[in-house]
């Protein structure tokens, strides 16, 4: 089958076109013919080798973390899926490879595709929607009346998180650039902060939750907007010891991650708030919840641009250079 593979970490040419064996469905797997996949910043970081310590993929490997497609084969132990079903998924972190014509995915990581979406729209959602769900529902337990700040509200995670927080009944604030202020407001943000013209920590106060896809100084400044007992959840890092334990990391890596996050955890304690690092997990059950929200009109995908499959390296470069105006970049299989 055709695929795009990482031949060596740090390859500036991006993933390489290759012919790889068509995968086989294990007993608990569904084999999916991929119709569309989307590009995430995670793909760019994996290619660069930024996650080699925690995601040690052995080259060459097929890249890609999101898909929408049609089931063509099911394993002997699979229940709930049949050949011909339209599905979408974020494969488990140990079984990535959606920049390809086929992929075998564990049945627990797959969900029916939202009926109201095209394949391209559906492929844009799994990783970012699961990230927003696990941050706001699973970790923060957002309730009606709470105040939630979403950074990068026009990004892949941000566009979904704004809509999800609004659905949960929160007062939603979001940061974005000047060009996307109207878009973010249309997604349901009550307060939109133009980070090019305004300083969010001087405008926002007493927030319950901050979702941070940016990291760095934005993360540090976010501590200032939280009420005592509030929480900042970052997907940009630094990783913490709890994440190391989830990975089953050894003592050296656990100590290193704890040290990396110590400054922000110390600052958080001084302000009587908490800091958590989130690396999302695949979940078909959670995707089913998201499917229901999409088909009910509560969440809509935002797609920046669709590239043909043969232009996957160009799609990666588009994301790596920050050229996406809003939402997700998608690759359409042909």
Q: Distance (Å, rounded) from C-alpha 145 to C-alpha 126?
A: 27
227-263 pLDDT, tens per residue?
Answer: 999 999 999 989 887 887 887 777 888 888 889 899 9
- Residue-wise pLDDT tens digits, 157-211: 999 999 999 999 999 999 999 999 999 999 999 999 999 999 999 999 999 999 9
Tell me the two tokens of residue 95: 């079984």
**Are the C-beta atoms of 59 and 2 separated by less than 8 Å?**
no
Domains and CATH numbers, the chain: 2-124+301-332 (3.90.180.10), 127-277 (3.40.50.720)
Give the list of residues 6+ apart from residue 141 with CB closer than 8 angstroms, or none: none
Tell the residue number behind the tokens 């079984």, with chain if given.
95
pLDDT in tens, 256-315: 888 989 999 999 999 999 999 999 999 999 999 999 999 999 999 999 999 999 999 999
Contact 307, 316 (CB under 8 A): no
Is there a contact between 309 and 330 (Cβ–Cβ < 8 Å)? no
The 10s digit of each residue's pLDDT in 62-121 is 999 999 999 999 999 999 999 999 999 999 999 999 999 999 999 999 999 999 999 999
Q: Is the alpha carbon torsion for 18, 22, 23, 29 positive or negative? A: positive
pLDDT at position 39 over 80: yes
Q: Report the C-alpha gap between 107 and 77 in whole angstroms.
A: 9
> Distance between CA 139 and CA 233 in Å, rounded?
8
On whether the CB atoms of residues 276 and 233 are closer than 8 A, the answer is yes
C-beta of residue 63 within 8 angstroms of C-beta of residue 96: yes
The pTM for the full model equals 0.96
Q: Kindly state the average pLDDT of the residues 44-73.
A: 94
């Amino acid at each position: 089958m055709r695929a795009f593979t990482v031949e060596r970490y740090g390859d500036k040419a991006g993933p390489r076109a290759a012919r790889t064996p068509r995968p086989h469905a294990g007993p608990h797997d569904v084999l999916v013919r991929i119709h569309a996949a989307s590009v995430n910043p995670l793909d760019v970081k994996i290619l660069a080798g930024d996650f080699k310590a925690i995601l040690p993929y052995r080259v060459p490997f097929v890249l890609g973390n999101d898909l929408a497609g049609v089931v063509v084969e099911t394993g002997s132990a699979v229940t709930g899926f049949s050949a011909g079903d339209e599905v979408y998924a974020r494969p488990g972190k140990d079984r990535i490879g959606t920049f390809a014509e086929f992929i075998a995915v564990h049945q627990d990581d797959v969900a029916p595709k939202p009926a109201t979406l095209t394949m391209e729209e559906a492929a844009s959602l799994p990783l970012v929607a699961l990230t927003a769900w696990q941050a706001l529902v699973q970790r923060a337990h957002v309730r009606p009346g709470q105040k939630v700040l979403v950074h990068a509200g026009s990004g892949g995670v941000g566009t979904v998180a704004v809509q999800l927080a609004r659905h949960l009944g929160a007062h939603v604030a979001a940061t974005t650039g000047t060009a996307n202020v109207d878009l973010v407001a249309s997604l349901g943000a009550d307060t939109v902060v133009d980070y090019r013209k305004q300083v969010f920590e001087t405008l926002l106060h007493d927030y319950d939750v901050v979702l941070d896809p940016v990291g760095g100084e934005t993360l540090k400044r976010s501590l200032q907007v939280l009420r005592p007992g509030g929480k900042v959840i970052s997907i940009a890092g630094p990783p913490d010891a709890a994440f190391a334990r989830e990975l089953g990391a050894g003592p050296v890596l656990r100590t290193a991650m704890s040290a990396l996050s110590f400054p922000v955890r110390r600052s958080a304690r001084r302000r009587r708030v908490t800091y958590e690092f989130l690396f999302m997990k695949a979940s078909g059950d959670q995707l089913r919840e998201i499917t229901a929200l999409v088909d009910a009109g509560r969440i809509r995908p935002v797609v920046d641009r669709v590239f043909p499959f043969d232009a996957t390296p160009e799609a990666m470069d588009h994301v790596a250079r920050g050229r996406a105006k809003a939402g997700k970049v998608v690759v359409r299989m042909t």
